[in-house]
Structures are given as structure tokens and as C-alpha cells.
Structure 1
Amino acid sequence: MTTSSSVAESVLAPVDPELAEFDRYVETAREHIYTRVQPMPLESLDSWYTDPDTGWIRHRSGKFFSIEGLRFTVSDGPVPEWCQPIINQPEIGILGVLVKEFDGVVHCLLQLKAEPGNRGGLQLSPTVQATRSNYTGAHGGGAVPLLEYFRDAPAHRVLADVRQSEQGASFLRKRNRNMIVATADDVPDRDGFRWLTVPQVLRLLRRDDLVNMDTRTVLSLLPFAAAALRRRNGGRAEAWTRTLLRSCDRAASSVHPDRELQAWVTDVRTRTDVSATPVSMASLHGWQRADGTIRHETRRFFDVIGVGVESAGREVARWTQPMLTAGEDGVLGWLVRRIDGVLHALVRMRVEPGLVDVAEIAPTVQCIPGNYAHLPPAAHPPFLDEVLNARPERVLFDTMLSDEGGRFYGISNRHLIVETDAVHNHPDYRWVSVGQLVDLLRHSHYLNVQARSLLVCLYGLLLDPADG
């Protein structure tokens, strides 16, 4: 039976340095798994309508999602109030990765999926990536393959099962059920699905815009036994890798004890007064609906656009929908530091309008730099310059990775992990050990989706450099 120790052992499995067979499979798949996207005015979307009272954009079935207006106030922040469009998708979807051992090595079953917003077309998605509207058939298409492994999973097969948030700046209290389920079944081969070892997936994270956001958030829950991995690998690993292995252990020392870390999270959530009020689109100061789109008058932040989609290799062949898009790539950056031989990441509690519980632990830097050009210096992201201008030898990870392509059109973020020797005693930030972050992932709504994305990138640094 697959356990955390067997996952740990599988991290040491040899990896095809070129992933040649996988690359050939992807090129073949592009011929029959794809989407073709045509921008179109919001007013022309089939099955979508604009509510005459609120200006909100809704689906005529009452399913899927809506684009609504929101006014947000926060008591403690450089910008105390703003308004914006936001995606309201109240249903909880399933993001699930099926794992199985082949010859004693754990493999993940991932799906090559073409989402309308994907950069580069195909990206690796979880085994199941489905909203409730999708898996209950509201789209009128085919059934979601392999869903039964997650909806009817026996408890002893479930390695991880946690409800986690989506992008709190774009979704209103959106959550998904993140699952990793083990099986011993002979799962039938399906077009577009591929078994990959854990190190293969971690290595593919180093390729731009290939492993999608939903896969990254699920794989951040990988339950490998860090202590077992350290015993196997620690003797031959280089010093930095030994530090990372030690740091993944929940028993490793940390600057702030768990009790102190929990108190910090609770204090920020308690003393920060927030208000998220639904409002009409006409009430959104600075936002305009014109020429078939919704955009801010400064052309910053994001636009709401309409698209028509033709697809192959999906449950539905044609549809239209609104999407969010941005004119500039974002930056997600972690500063990491060795403290008493244990790797720590510099994190902050970030308040976002769509989060369920006020604020979640976020990366050192999480921003679209151009969005801050018009704001006072106090509102500019701390540590952005240090992350972007780090010396090459200090940059441990640097890859463009996309947001989920079902709601976001062409949006990608530069993921950076940068080692520093600076102490950085900023009052709004804390040095948190990797083991503490791993431990918090057993619970809902502690790490935001951007932090979870960077955490799985950090796992990729466990690979031998010769494998990457």
C-alpha cells in the first residue's frame, strides 16, 4: 500500500533526464487535444446574460460562475478601500491526483488538458479537475473520467484530502477539495492521461507553463516522510540539499514555535476588520464596460473579456464564457534562509477580498509590479527588488507558471525562490520553517494558492542537480 514513506522513496527514483518519451507523447497529443479560442464581446456570449439590475454577468442555467461587483474595505492597509469585479463560483470542485506504485515506485496519473486560457496549449492537470457543475453534467457534455476514485474513495486509500482556497484576489470565497488517492487497480489507459513518477513531475515544474496551477496545489500536499528520505539521501547529498531535507521534517527546529506561529495567524485575522459588499457594476468606481469588455480606466489590474471556444479531447466541444486576463505577468517570490541548519521561508499574512477567513500565509512577494506604479511608496511590495535583482547563484528556482486556464486567459507568474543571508525583521513578515508550512497544509485556509505553488517548486529542489 502506498504510504508517505513510499512516496519519499520514490523521490529518489531515477528520472529520464530528457523525458524524451513524454515529449513525444505530448507532441502527438497536440494534434487531437486542443482548444481554439476566439475573443468576442461579453454581450455576444451564448447562454450568458447581463443582469439588468446589477450588471452582473450570469449563466442562464444558474450554474458555473458569475462575474459580480464587490466593494472591499480593510482596516489595516495602505489602500483602505477599493472596488472590483470578482468571480463568484460558490460550488466546491474536486482537484484530485491518483497515485499508484509500479515496481515499487509511486507514479501520479496526470492529464494533458487544453484549457482556453492556457499558454502553450496543453498543460498537465490533475487526474480530475472538475467543478460541481462539470461533474453533475450541467454543461451537457460527457462524464468526468475517473471521478469515482475521488467521490467514493475508501478512507485507507486517501493520502491527502483538504479544502483549500483559490486566488483570493479574483474569486469570492472559492474553495476546492484537494485530494491525493492511492489505488492498486488496473486503471484503463485513456487518451491524454499519463503516469509520471514524482521526480519526473517535479522536474517538469522547471518548464515554463506546463504543470498547471491545480496540479501544483494538489502536489503541494505530497505526504512524503522527510525523515525517511533524509536517512536514505542525506549522506550523499550536497550540503544545501541536506538542509532542505532536514527542513521538510515537521520535527525540525524553527525560529517561531508552532504556538507562536498560530498566535500570529489568529491575531492578524482577528484585528483586521474587513468588509466585502456586493455592489452593482455601475457602482465600481474606475471600472468601465465598453467595447465588449470590462476594464479599469487606468488599464491596470485585469480585464474581463469574452471568448468563444472550440475544443477537442474535452467533455464539451463548443462553448462561450467570460474570462479574466491581465496585460502584465505577475511575480511570486520566496526569500529563503538557512537558520541553524534549517531552511526557512519569509512569509506574510496577506488579506484578500475573496478569502474565507480574512487572510492567509502568502509568499514574500506576490504582485503584478505595474499595478503599484500609481500607489504611494508604502503600498509597494517589500522585498520585490531583492527578489528580482538577486545574483544568479542565489536564484534556486526561476520559472514562469500559469494560473488555471479555465477562468484566466494567458495569465502567468514568474516563480522565484531566492536564497538570502539577510535577517529581515519586518513586523509584517515571519521566518517559517518548511516543515511548519508542510504541517499547516494538513488544514484548510492557512497557505494561499500562490504559497502552495511555490512550496511544490521547493520540493523540486530535492532532485539531484544532475537530474535537472
Structure 2
Amino acid sequence: MTVTRTARLVPRTDAALPGRLARSAAATEGWMMGTPQVSAWLAERAGAHPFQVTPVPFAALDAWSFEAGTGNLVHSSGRFFTIEGQHAVASEPEPRAWHQPVINQPEVGILGLLAREFGGVLHFLLQAKMEPGNPNLLQLSPTVQATRSNYTGAHQGAPVRYLDHFVEPSGSGVIADVLQSEHGSWFHRKSNRNMIVETTRDVPLHPDFCWLTLGQIAELLHRDLTVNMDTRTVLSCLPGGSPADGGALHSDAALLSWITDERCRHDVTAERVPLAGLPGWRTGERVVGRPDGRFFRVVAVSVRAGSREVGSWTQPLIEPVGVGVTAFLRRTIEGRPHVLVHARAEGGFRETVELGPTVQCTPGNYGPPGTEGRPPFLDLVLAAGTDAGRGRIRYEALHSEEGGRFLNATSRYLVVDTDEVPPDPPRGYRWVTPEQLSALAGHRHYVNVQARTLLACLNAMGAAG
């Protein structure tokens, strides 16, 4: 006998979720520990394992080598990632072309936060995770932060903890699940699956993990080098407020039309080319870099990490030159806060243009104020750091970028109030509300990774007052 399953409709959205998230954001004391205890816990976990990162020449890399013919830096397994060359051509704001090394990692990784209620309040499971590129090595990462090569065992190490919650999640437990880009300046079309999954099951707790509320994470986002990039990008994918909440300078339809127009008017091509003989770059025993020392270089490290699935390994990393500045300008328009986004075209994006911060650069790569080619609004942001402008800074913290691929890559993240930029900004820029930005972050390839960090920080500003 054939049994026919009756189709049942379900609500398109979880009406209770915004209230549950708000309660978690308001809770600054967690089930496991108070926020002041988190620093001591991180220090204790750092002392519980041996951690060491040592620069080495390329010849000392184990299983990595420069490929014959192309000169690309590759792993003998054919997995993980490769360092290749890239030739990019962009049409806007003026025609330009350049060559650079780039990370090619076509596989999609998982960045996953596990959520569970304790005492009626949502908590999120974070890990004290060592990444070789982090300046302080140990930061708070998502529950799962793994490439496909890692979670399928290509590294021949221990299994990734809590992975089962994300490989085949129950549909009813999924809070967010979206593909997001990584750094378009250093990756070639790299995406990760950003996930937040709720469970009602008991979860055995490993000593390197802890449960924290959104309110606690918001407080920690105000601390330097504490919450890692992958946690920040996943948090930015949390569902925001209703589109009907309040108003905006531009309607959602008008904003989408503007983004589409920006994507149509930018013509960007990025072709992978051999690393060997890459114009403007030189390969030495320890560094692949530019003769003028600008922008970034490729280096090699040897790593010991007692808490990772593999206890020791070697790998190449991209090391930027100097500390970046990543900022939103913010202003209130008819009582509604707006931030100034930039339609950025980067060689590594799949969609040509994504919304980025107002300013996203490393100032040391440019000439002094008044010189040609200096990024728009950079000097306005930097002026906020002077004694005269200090009162305009609404948020400021030093955050590192992805520590698994970048060495000592840090940026000063800021939200700066201004009344100097009119409601009708220069071409390529738009004022949007944080709610509009949050809605776009719920879809793939609209908001770049730096703007997603700032979106998480904007949410933290609201939670932390």
C-alpha cells in the first residue's frame, strides 16, 4: 500500500526569532560565565596548548613547492589552496590593469555558529581557536571554521568537532545559511557558507569552547583582536529588523536598482596567470613581493598548535604591509541613522561589485593628503582620530582578517559621524540604513567581508549602548 504524505504549509519566517535575538542581545551575563571572565578563559586556553609560528624559507615548506612551468605555489595533495598570479583589468573609476599574486581556493568552506537556549536565552557556541596569522594567535572563532579539505580529512588530522550540526542541518533549526565572498583583493572568487543553526539537543562541551549570548559577543567586539573575522561575518548574517521598520533615504527597490546599475557599468576581468615571471613581482628565498615593498607579500611559516586537528604543519601566507583603515561614515537623515557604502569592484569578486565600507585601504600605500589617487573620504576618517575630531568616533577597534591565510593582517575598524557628506554623495556611494544593509547580507555576494564586519559592529553598538 502506498502512503501519501500530506503537504503542510509552514510560516515563511519565524515570527518569534526577532524577539529571541533581542533578548540574547540584551543579556550581558551568560549561562557559562560573565563577559569579564572571557579574557581569563582565553588566556587559560592559550596556556593549555603549545602555540608557535616561525617564519621559514620557501624551501623549508613540507609538501608545498613551486610548480614546474607555472611557478605556482602548490600542495602535493592537490588540495587546500594555491598561490597563483592574476591579471586584472577594471574600467572604473578609470581604466587600469595590474598583476598580483592571489589565493585560488575553489572549494567552499563552512563557517558555522551553533545556537542553543539556556534559561530562555539564546547562546552561541564559540571556540578559542588558534590561527597562525593572528597577531595574538588565539581568538574567538565560530563553532565550525573549516575548509572542505579540512572537514573531509585531507589533512589526515582529527575530525572537526560539531561538524554534524552543519553538514546536514535540520531545516527547522536553520537561522541563517548564505554563501558570502571573502577578500576580493587577495582571493580569486572565494566563497564560504555562513551558517547559524539552532539545536535543542544536549551538546557535549569541549574545554576549548564556550557558550556566549549576543550581548556578551557585542561587548567583546569592542575589544581589540578578540573576535575573529569568521565569527564577525557569520554574525552579520543574522536576520535584521523588518523592512517596514522606519524609513530610508532610498527605497529597497531603488537601492537594488542602484547596485544593479553599478554592476553593469563596471567591467572587471580577472584572469589567473602563472606566478612565475609575474610582472612587477619578484620571487626570493623567503618572499614573493614587489620591489617597492608596497601592498603585500607572500611568505612561509612553520606552525605548532596543540589544539588544532593537526598539531604541526607548514604553509604559505599573504602578509599585507601596514595596518588598514576600514570605516563607515555615519549620519542621521530625518531621524534615521544611515551609513555611506561604496560600490567596490575587486578582482576576486564573482559579481564584479559588492557593497563595501566608505573607506577600505591601507593609508601607507598612498601619498600624503592632497596627492593624486588618495582614496575618497580617507582624510575625513583620519581627522576623526585627532583631538579635534575624537568626539565623532562612534565605534573603534582593531580587528584581524582571516588568520588562516593572512599574516598579521589587521585593520582599525571605525564608525565615524559626519555632516560633511551630503545626502547625494559622489557616484559609486550611497547612504543606506543598517537595516537595509542587514537585509542585503542575508543574500549572497551583496556585502563584502569588511562591510559585514562593520555591520556586526553596528549591531554591537546598539546592543552595548
Partner of 2:341: 347
1:439 aligns with 2:439: yes
> Which residue number in structure 1 is paired with residue 191 of structure 2?
175
Mapped contact 1:335–1:417 kept (Cα < 8 A) = yes
Matches within 5 A, 1:11-410: 11-15=25-29, 19-78=35-94, 80-223=96-239, 226=241, 250-373=244-367, 377-390=371-384, 391-410=389-408
The range that moved more, 449-458 or 26-35, is: 26-35
**Letter in structure 2 aligned against 1:56:** N
Q: How far has the Cα of 1:20 moved from its partner?
A: 3.1
The one-letter code of the counterpart of 2:78 is G
Of the structure 1 ranges 358-367 and 27-36, higher mean CA displacement relative to structure 2 is found in 27-36
For residue 200 of structure 1, report the CA deviation from its aligned partner.
Answer: 0.5
The letter for the 1-side match of 2:438 is V
Instruction: Tell me if structure 2 keeps the 8 A contact 1:250–1:436.
Output: no
Looking at structure 1, the residues matched to 315 and 453 of structure 2 have their Cα atoms a distance apart, in angstroms, of 26
Residue type of the partner of 1:383? F
- Would you say the 8 A contact 2:262–2:428 is kept in 1? no
* 1:423 aligns with one of 421, 424, 444: 421
* Corresponding position of 2:6: none
Shift of 1:177: 0.2
Instruction: Report the CA distance between 1:18 and its aligned residue.
Output: 7.2
RMSD across aligned C-alpha pairs, in angstroms? Answer: 1.8
Question: Normalising by structure 2, what TM-score?
Answer: 0.92
* Distance (whole Å) between structure 2 residues aligned to residue 344 and residue 444 of structure 1: 22
Distance 1:402-1:175 versus aligned 2 partners, 3 A rule = same
CA contact (8 A) 1:220 1:452 kept: yes
- Secondary structure of the equivalent of 2:157? coil
Distance 1:356 1:210 in 2: 30
Q: Distance in 2 between matches of 1:431 and 1:35?
A: 44
Aligned to 2:3: none
In 2, the alpha carbon distance for the partners of 1:292 and 1:190 equals 38
What is the distance in 2 between the residues matched to 1:431 and 1:442? 19
* Alpha-carbon distance, 1:374 to partner: 9.4
Counterpart residue type for residue 139 of structure 2: Q
Query: Structure 1 residue 355: deviation in Å?
Result: 0.5
Instruction: Give the direction of change, closer, same or farther, for the CA distance of 1:294–1:364 in structure 2 (3 Å limit).
Output: same
Structure 1 position 27, deviation (Å):
1.9
TM-score (norm 1): 0.91
Question: Which letter maps to 1:109?
Answer: L
1:394-413 C-alpha deviation (Å, 9 max, x unpaired): 10111000001100111101
Structure 1 residue 19: deviation in Å? Answer: 2.5
**Contact 1:309-1:320 within 8 A present in 2 as well:** yes
Counterpart contact for 1:33–1:114, Cα < 8 Å = no
How far off its partner does 1:252 sit?
Answer: 2.4
Amino acid at match of 1:136: T
Letter in 1 for 2:463: L
Give how far 1:170 is off: 0.4
* Aligned AA (2:260): T
* Counterpart AA for 1:310: R
User: Aligned equivalents of 1:380 and 1:154: distance in 2?
Assistant: 49
Conservation of the 8 A alpha-carbon contact between 2:239 and 2:442: no
Gaps of 5+ in 2: 1-13
Report if the CA contact (8 A) 1:395-1:419 is conserved. Answer: yes
Q: Structure 1 residues 324, 374: CA separation in 2 closer, same or farther (over 3 Å shift)?
A: farther
Counterpart amino acid of residue 337 in structure 1: R
Whole-angstrom distance in 1 between the partners of 2:450 and 2:383: 21
How far apart in 2 are the matches of 1:79 and 1:301?
20
* Structure 1 Cα separation of the partners of residues 405 and 261 of structure 2: 33
Q: Which moved more, 1:93-102 or 1:284-293?
A: 284-293
Same amino acid, percent of matched pairs: 45
Residue deviations 1:112-165 (CA, integer Å, cap 9, x gap)? 001111111210000000000000000000100000001111111000000000
In structure 2, the residue corresponding to 1:281 is in which secondary structure?
Answer: coil
In structure 1, the residue matched to 2:10 is none
- Deviation of 1:21 (Å): 2.5
Q: What is the distance in 2 between the residues matched to 1:368 and 1:354? A: 18
CA contact (8 A) 2:215 2:464 kept: no
Deviation (angstroms), 1:373: 2.7
Q: After superposition, what is the alpha-carbon deviation per residue over 1:69-109, rounded to whole angstroms, capped at 9, x for unaligned? A: 00000112346100000000000000000111111111110
Decide whether the 8 Å contact of 1:10 with 1:197 is kept in 2.
yes
- One-letter amino acid of the counterpart of residue 177, structure 1: R
Aligned residues: 443
Partners of 1:416 and 1:399 lie apart in 2 by 7
Is the 8 Å Cα contact of residues 348 and 364 (structure 1) preserved in structure 2?
A: yes
Q: State which of 398, 411, 414 in structure 1 corresponds to 2:412.
A: 414
Partner amino acid, structure 1, of 2:71: G
Q: 1:4 is matched by which residue type in structure 2?
A: P
Tell me if structure 1 keeps the 8 A contact 2:300–2:315: yes
Which whole-Å CA distance do the structure 1 matches of 2:196 and 2:317 have between them?
A: 28
CA contact (8 A) 2:83 2:275 kept: no
- Give the conservation status (yes or no) of the 8 Å contact 1:113–1:122: yes
CA distance in 2, matches of 1:208, 1:443: 29
Look up the match of 1:242: none
Letter in 1 for 2:26: L
Residue of structure 1 in register with 2:454 after alignment: 454
- Report the Cα offset of residue 376 of structure 1: 9.6
Structure 1 residue 463 corresponds to structure 2 residue 427: no
Separation in structure 2 between the aligned mates of residue 144 and residue 107 of structure 1, nearest angstrom: 21
Letter of the 2:22 partner, please give it: A
Question: Is the 1:347–1:362 Cα contact (8 Å) retained in structure 2?
Answer: yes
AA in 2 matched with 1:103: G
**Distance of aligned partners of 1:447 and 1:152 in 2 relative to their CA distance in 1, 3 Å threshold:** same
CA contact (8 A) 1:78 1:378 kept: no
